[in-house]
């Protein structure tokens, strides 16, 4: 599979809650090895779209094709297999507070593999080192900083060597230095492991630093009003909404 090969294809997707339509008839493609940004103003449906892509929320209409398989209409076994090829870093990190970092990372390996305890221990140490947390396996989430919690959550998301990792506002609650370190880590994982990254964010620094492709969701039209490399969208904004968002113009 090459970088220009479609990995996730969203076709004529509609997300609605009862009679309230959040997104209507949207289509876009995420390619292998993209760092794909989902951006837009508050209430445009970014987080809802992420929940649909990860299979946590059903869609109203349309389909999502992942690696050539119709994820939307697949049977339970196929959906579970696809979901196991994906990792998620939630906004809060979502670590289990009663478990050490090592135990948090080991959990998916214990649940979804037949690996021996020794191999799981080795893999946990490897994932901790990958995110810069070597030696912190015995710490509890309450004993580390917010940035470290995000990195530990990322180590858990990477436990099963996923092809795709989804991020929900990864910089939320972080100071600028921790945010930059996390952005660098996302880029390193993308480049060294070939992992395709999908990020929901409104942080301009992250959007421009890491994004290779993007969509801009428009709450007024309930659709996509722009797509492409964020830097190219800034240089040649296709509409006023995108220009204002990417320049943070308030007037």
pLDDT averaged over 10-residue windows placed end to end, the chain, 251 residues? 80 93 96 96 90 90 95 92 91 86 96 94 95 94 90 94 93 84 92 94 91 95 95 94 84 49
Determine the pLDDT at residue 175: 84
Which of 170, 174, 204 shows the shortest CA–CA distance to 185? 170
Which of 35, 38, 29 shows the shortest CA–CA distance to 8? 29
Determine the pLDDT at residue 3: 57
Helix axes 146-157, 101-112, angle to 10 degrees: 20
**Domain assignment present for 94:** no
**Domain assignment present for 129:** no
**Domain assignment present for 239:** yes
Residue 14 CA to residue 244 CA, distance in Å, equals: 26
Task: Provide the CATH number for the domain around residue 249.
Answer: 3.40.50.300
Q: Is 32:3 a contact under the CB 8 Å cutoff?
A: yes
**Cα-trace Rg, the chain:** 18
Q: Based on the structure, what is the number of domains in the chain?
A: 1
Determine the pLDDT at residue 1: 45
**Domain assignment present for 251:** yes
**Domain assignment present for 102:** no
**Domain assignment present for 105:** no
**Domain assignment present for 40:** yes
**Domain assignment present for 124:** no
Sheet containing strand 20-31, strands side by side: 20-31, 6-17, 61-66, 69-70
Phi and psi angles of residue 24, each rounded to the nearest 5 degrees, phi first: -130, 120
Query: Domain limits at 205?
Result: 1-85+196-251
Residue 73 CA to residue 59 CA, distance in Å, equals: 10
């Amino acid at each position: 599979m090459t970088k220009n090969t479609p990995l996730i294809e969203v076709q004529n997707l509609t997300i609605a809650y009862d009679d309230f339509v959040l997104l209507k008839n949207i289509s876009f493609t995420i390619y292998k090895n993209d760092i794909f940004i989902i951006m837009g103003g508050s209430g445009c449906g970014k987080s809802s779209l992420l929940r649909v892509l990860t299979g946590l929320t059903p869609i109203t209409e349309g389909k999502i094709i992942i690696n050539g398989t119709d994820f939307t209409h697949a049977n339970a076994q196929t959906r579970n297999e696809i979901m196991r090829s994906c990792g998620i870093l939630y906004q809060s990190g979502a670590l289990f507070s009663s478990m050490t970092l090592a135990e948090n990372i080991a959990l998916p390996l214990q649940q979804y593999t037949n690996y021996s305890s020794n191999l799981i221990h080795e893999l946990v140490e490897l994932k901790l080192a990958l995110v810069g947390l070597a030696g912190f396996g015995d710490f509890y989430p309450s004993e580390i900083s917010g940035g470290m919690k995000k990195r530990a959550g990322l180590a858990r998301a990477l436990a099963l060597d996923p092809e795709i990792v989804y991020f929900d506002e990864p910089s939320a609650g972080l100071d600028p230095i921790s945010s930059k370190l996390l952005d660098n880590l996302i880029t390193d994982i993308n480049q060294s492991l070939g992992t395709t990254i999908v990020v929901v964010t409104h942080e301009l620094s992250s959007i421009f630093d890491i994004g290779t492709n993007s969509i801009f969701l428009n709450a007024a039209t309930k659709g996509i009003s722009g797509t492409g490399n964020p830097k190219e969208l800034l240089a040649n904004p296709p509409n006023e909404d995108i220009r204002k968002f990417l320049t943070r113009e308030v007037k």
